[in-house]
Structures are given as structure tokens and as C-alpha cells.
Amino acid sequence: MDDLIADFVAECREMLEAVGGEIVAWEAEPGNRARLDSIFRFVHTVKGNCGFFEFPRLESLSHAAEDALADVRAGRRQADAALVSAVLAIIDRISEMVAAIDTGGEVPAGDDSALILALAPGSEQLLAPAAAPAESGGTKAVAAPRTIRLSVELLDRVMSTVSDMVLARNELSRRLRDTQGDVAVEGAFERLSAIIAEMRDAITRTRMQRIENLFVGLPRMVRDLSAELGKQVLVDVDGGDVELDREMIEMIRDPLTHIVRNAIDHGIEKPGERLKAGKRETGLLSVSARQSGNQILIDITDDGRGIDAGRLVEKAVANGLLERSEAARLSTKEKLALIFEAGLSTATAVTNISGRGVGMDVVRSNVERIGGTVEIDSKPEQGTRMTLRVPLTLTIIPALTVSIGQQHFAIPRTAIDEIVRARGESVELSQVGGAGVATIRGRRVPEIALADVLGLPSELRDEERTLVVIRPAGGDVYALAVDRIHDHEELVVKPAAPAVMATGLYAGTTLADDGSPILLFDPAGLARVGGVRLEAQERGARIFEEAGRKREDVATQVLLFRGLGGERRAVRLAIVDRIEEVPASSIKMSAGQLRVQLGEVILPLVGLVEPPVEGKVRVFRLNDGHQEVGYAFHEVIDLEALASQVMPAETPGVIGGVALIAGEPAEIIDAHWLFARHSAHSRTASASVCRLPAGDPWIQNMLRPIVEAAGYRVVSGEDEPADIVIVQDGKSEPAATGGKLIRLRSDPEAGEGDGSIYRYDRAGLLAALHSAAGA
């Protein structure tokens, strides 16, 4: 809000500089409509903004002036000296209030009735000079930061100049490295580099603006459209603190508005239709923004009727945009993409909001013009999500340049873990299931060759290349094999053409220090296209799929992994159901042991000593066919065959023994012991049966949990066989065959010595239960 008020103040001051002279000129030439319109626009703009910022005093002044000027524009009144004086007085008062807002953030209190009365026709109200606003509480307000309004064209020129300075700095740096440098020259160069970096950051910030300025008008628009269409729509806006280039915000304003209007008009149903479909009568429209690498993603999601892909196809065929034979081969995604074809609409009626078959093609072309893309996903009767992917435009980022043959590319420096030589002693390249694997100092990571991904010729063999170990945001690492490594430089990033961005490989284009274009890789997209599945659970799923194809192997298949303490361990693949990654908050100490919440399921957890404080933990879900146990670990190493003999452990425990796997010792998990010790049902698998009276609330609510915790299975029916029966306060109950009767009393002293147990004597009760279990 502070930023918006600062913009309001700057806009008012800019208009005030010109409007005073316009009024004087208008008095001399009352018939000049252009000057009248200019004055009217000023008071109208102030009135509209005041309603938003809740400045009622300013609003009433500007509203009164607007009404008087509207009468002049409509010919209902002639401009005279009295009216001009009254309007000038009001504009002076507005100027004073704008100054007060700039310094203190609030409009001072005061009475403007005399100024407003002077606007009336024939008024003889004398206008006293306006007093300067008094300081409240005797404390001078802190002045707001000084601002100045500049044209976008000027900022573009300045930014372009800074970009050229960065390129020149890069070239100078390269030349200094190639020659015998002078210490004094190098020191001066470092100071110059620091100044350029500071200037670059400052200029970049001048073009950035919070995206909330784009979102601020959405709630009002949704409200008005919903009322017009007889619908109930709740709008949820998130991500307003994301920053985007000011010009980009203006470029996507119209596409976003069109998508929102379509969602309300076509997507969200009327209350009656929603109730019939089993939905809430109020529809939900969600608009959110987030930053992903060098792109801003804006999601517009509704829970309406969705898009009828079949109807889109029929319309496309009917309009001659598609052949019937081609339509049969379209995927769901391709069918939905037809909505971007010009002249295609599924609306049953044309309204003043949408339905004319124009708009979505314009939306896509406008977004693609700035290097962005539009993605669509829709499910019938569930809703639609549209995603605008737009670049941050002109940005300077640190990057590493690499090459394949004569082709150069750039990788964001923030995504690079390390750089190693493929033929180094600590690096080993191998193939597992047709996929490349690099072992770097004992750590195995997926490896892809950039030349293979791009289909470019390379003269180097695998072992002659250099490996760039990359860690995309939110993903595991992988190794990218390139021919050569060049400089670490700060590069100017610009949007790439839509066709280039559609490959999923690139985040934009950049310029080398000689001005030649270079494509900037998107690390996550490069891994995706190269076939690397980054998430741990997906990697685990791939291993399990490979295991399913190797079932014919004689040797037992085991999953080799590294424990949280760095231990090299293995678990038989057959009992591993899946791999999960859970936040630390899902792991808690409960009922004497660690447990993990996985969705709606709570499992005992092994592999941890105490709950983690933060971060995420990977968990095996081990399954014996009836029950599950969680096992925390650090990383999956590989799928291996257990061919050698297992040397058993000296004492029973979670480690059943040690065996050689892939040439190195590995501890083997004893699944039988683990389930016997930690399974939630291990103590009741062959438990005795205890019968409790069904009609006694105290027994059911207070006693039953203790009995079940002791390992008994509880029944209540009188005809059900039981090994032990518990009754309270002398109530008769026949003991089970070969079992035992336990009598409880509610009075701690009465009945003492008759063999009954006071019902809150926990130690005595547990002793009786354990004794009965032993019998």
C-alpha cells in the first residue's frame, strides 16, 4: 500500500504542475474544450483514487469540483471568474493535502464547506487563503522517499547501456587474464567491476514492481462480473510479493483479465447448477504467482465445469480447422490446445463478456510476443487451470559458459555444485540399465551427455569430457558431460523465441562478451529432456520397475542405500513398497517410539534416534503383505543382487548380518526382527482375547485402551470365546475356558482381600494381565 500511495502522490504532483496554468488559460479562453477536459480529468482521477485509498476529505473536494466542471462540459453552466477562482482554490487545497500525505501518510482534518459552497452558481462566498496543514501532536512526520517519474523508454536505454558495460567488463576481464597483469591495473579493474555491479542492481530494481499492482483490481472485477451474471464467486489471490518487470506487468494485464473473465463467464456455474452437481454454491477462483528460475508463473484456477475437449474437436472439425482423421489421433492436451485457435469457442451464447470466438488466440499471441507461454489443463466438472509462463525480461545473472564442438551454451551458476574431469581418479563412468551413471568420490549420480541430448556432433570420447554436477532447485544432483568449460561471467538474459522455450531446455538467451547470442539452459528442463528423474521417489520407482524386469535372476534382489549416519546398508527389494519424502514435522515421538505420518496413515519409524528439527527425510515403506513399517534413510545407491553369503550378526537386531555387495561390505536389514519389534500389530498378531462388558462406559473408555496396549484383542459379546474376562464391582461373569477372571472394584478400600483390584491400581492391573497372558 505504501508503494501505491507513493505512485498516487507522484501522479498528482505531475498533473498539478500543468493543471494550474490550464485553469488560468481556460479563464481567458472559456470555449477551449481541450483545457476544460484536462482539468476535469485531473479532478476525476483524484476522486477515483481517493475512494480506493479512503481519503474522504480529498474525495469530497474533487467530487464537488468534478460536478461543477461536468455542468460546464454539458452546457448547463457558463464558466466565469467566480467558478475559476473556486476551482483554483480547491486545487490549491488538494495540493496541500497531497503534500501532507507525502510527508505524513494521512490527510489532515479540516472543514472544506466554504470551498465547496463557492462552487455553486451565483455564490458570493469569499475564499480565504488556505492554511498550511498543522502538524499532529507536535511531531514532525518522517518524509517519504523522494520519487521521480521516468519514461520506460529512458529506463530501457539506461538498462541497455548497463548491459553493454557488463559485456565490455567481461571482455576486459578476459584480456587481463590473457596478459601479464599489473597489480595497480587489476585493482582499478576490481573497483570498476564493483561499481558496475552496484549500478546494475540499482537499474534492475528501477524496473521491478510487485505483481500485486496487477492483482489489486481482480477482486472488484470478479465481484462486478459475478453480480452481472448472477453467480457467486470467491477469489483467492496469492503471491503479490513476487516482483516482475513493470513493462511485463502491463503486457500481461489484458491476457490475465481475459482469462479471468472467461473463467467466470464460461467456467464457474450458477449456484443452482453447482448444487445439482454436488458442489458448493459459491465458486472458487484462485490467482497465484510464483518465481521459478528465470520465469514468473501465474496460475488461474477455477472449480467450474471445465472445458469440453470433445466439443472443441467437433467445433474445430466443423470450422474446417481439423480433419476428422486427425482429430481421432489427438491427445487430451492437444484437444485442449484447440481453444487457442482463432474463431473457435464452445460458448452456447454470445454475451457482452465473452463467447465470440476471439480472445484466447490473442491471449496466446500476446504472451508469446514477450517470450512467454500459456499452458492449459482442464477436467470435466472439476475445473480448469491456465498457467502463464513469462520471463523476467532483461536480467543479468552469473553463469558458466560451456561448449559442444563450436556451439556455446550457458548454465546458471546458482545451479552448479562442482566441476570434475571425467578421466579423474575420483570419477568413474558406467552404464546401468542403458542409462549413464557417474560415480564421483563414491557418490553415484545420473549422467547425461549434452551432445546426445542436443544431437550435436562431438569429437571427444566420454572419458575426455568434463562433468558439470548440477543441482536444480528442489531436485537431486546429476552430472552433465560437456566438451569444454569456459568462463564464469555475468551475462545479460533476454527472452527466447516461443519455439525455443517450447523445447523445455532453455530459460532464455544471453550474449557473449563479443555480442554473439548464447542459449541459457533451464537446469530442471535439461534433466527432464535428458531422461533424469530427479525426485527420490521417482528414482525409487525407476529402480523398482527395473527390478520387475529382473525377477528371473537367481540371486536375491536388494536395494542398496545409505543410512542417515552414512552406513552402507541393503534391504530385500520384495518388502519395499515405495519411497516417500516427508517433512520433519511429520515425524514425532509418540507412545514411546518414533512414528511418521504418511497421508492418513501413521507408521512406526526405524532408522532415526530422535525426531529431526527441520528439512525433509526419505522413508522406505516396508510391507509384509499385512502391515507397514517406515525406515528412514539418506539416499538410494543402486539396485544390486545379493549373491554372496550373509555373515549373521552376533545379537538379534535391526541388522541381521553383513554381506559383500558390489565388492564392498553392506549391512543387511533383518526384516523379520524389524516387523516383530516395531510393527503396530506385532504384539497382537497371536494375542490372547479379553472380554469386556459392553454396557460399562468406564470400562470401554478408560480400561479398554490399557488392555489393548498390553497386547490383548478385545471383544464384548457374551457368546464370544475369550481367554480372560474382566468385570467390575462384583458383577458375575463366567471365566473363559482355561482362562482367568479379573475382578475390579471402584472403591479403593471396600472388598480389599477378596482378590479384586482397585480399578485405578495400574500396576496391579498390568501385573494381572501379564500373568494371564503367561498362563
In a shared domain, residues 432 and 510: yes
Q: In which band, very low, low, confident or very high, does the pLDDT at 54 lie, cut at 50, 70 and 90?
A: confident
In a shared domain, residues 379 and 240: yes
Burial of 752 (C-beta count, 10 Å sphere; 0-12/13-18/19+): exposed
Residue 144, domain member (yes or no): no
Q: Report yes or no: 537 and 619 within 8 Å, Cβ to Cβ.
A: no
Single out the residue in 163, 186, 207 at which a domain terminates. 207
Q: Report yes or no: 419 and 468 within 8 Å, Cβ to Cβ.
A: yes
| Digit-coded pLDDT (tens) for 226-285 | 888 999 888 888 888 888 877 778 888 888 999 999 999 989 999 999 999 888 888 999
pLDDT at 632: 92
| Digit-coded pLDDT (tens) for 479-494 | 999 988 887 766 767 7
CATH code, domain carrying 478? 2.40.50.180
**pLDDT > 90? residue 384:** yes
In a shared domain, residues 605 and 692: no
Residue 145, domain member (yes or no): no
Residue 424, domain member (yes or no): yes
CATH code, domain carrying 696? 3.40.50.2300
Single out the residue in 330, 362, 391 at which a domain terminates. 391
Residue 62, domain member (yes or no): yes
pLDDT at 300: 93
DSSP string of 75-126, one letter each residue: TSS---HHHHHHHHHHHHHHHHHHHHHHHHSSPPP---HHHHHTTSTT----
Single out the residue in 643, 661, 678 at which a domain terminates. 678
| Digit-coded pLDDT (tens) for 661-692 | 877 889 999 888 888 777 544 444 456 788 88
Mean pLDDT, residues 550-578 = 76
Residue 147, domain member (yes or no): no
Please count the other Cβ atoms lying within 10 Å of the Cβ belonging to residue 713.
15
Specify the DSSP element, H or E, that contains 706. helix 704-709
In a shared domain, residues 590 and 672: yes
Which carries the bigger pLDDT value, residue 451 or residue 476? 451
pLDDT at 386: 92
In a shared domain, residues 382 and 438: no
Mean pLDDT, residues 189-194 = 85
User: In degrees, to the nearest 5, what angle opens at C-alpha 304 toward C-alphas 300 and 305?
Assistant: 125
Q: Look-up: residue for cell 521516468?
A: 150
In a shared domain, residues 580 and 482: no
In the three-class reduction of DSSP (H, G, I as helix; E, B as strand; rest coil), residue 691 is classed as: strand
- Residue 578 has φ and ψ, to the nearest 5°, of -165, 175
Residue 256, domain member (yes or no): yes
Distance CA 70, CA 769 (A): 93
Domain containing 182 equals 152-207
- Count of the separate structural domains present in the chain: 6
**pLDDT > 60? residue 143:** no
This prediction has a pTM of 0.41
CATH code, domain carrying 70? 1.20.120.160
- 664-669 and 655-661 strand pairing: antiparallel
pLDDT at 610: 86
623 contact partners, CB below 8 Å, separation of at least 6: 575, 576, 577
Indicate the range of 95-104, 378-387, 440-449, 727-736 predicted with least confidence. Answer: 727-736
In a shared domain, residues 365 and 244: yes
- 443-449 and 435-440 strand pairing: antiparallel
pLDDT at 684: 42
Which carries the bigger pLDDT value, residue 15 or residue 70? 70
**What's the mean per-residue pLDDT of the chain?**
77
In a shared domain, residues 549 and 455: no
DSSP 532: -
In a shared domain, residues 498 and 559: no
In the three-class reduction of DSSP (H, G, I as helix; E, B as strand; rest coil), residue 427 is classed as: strand
Residue 143, domain member (yes or no): no
Residue 146, domain member (yes or no): no
C-alpha distance from residue 344 to each of 64, 200, 762 (Å)? 48, 45, 76
In a shared domain, residues 331 and 477: no
In a shared domain, residues 553 and 445: no
C-alpha distance from residue 720 to each of 366, 536, 739 (Å)? 74, 49, 13
Which residues are paired to 440 by β-bridges?
Answer: 427, 443
In a shared domain, residues 403 and 525: yes
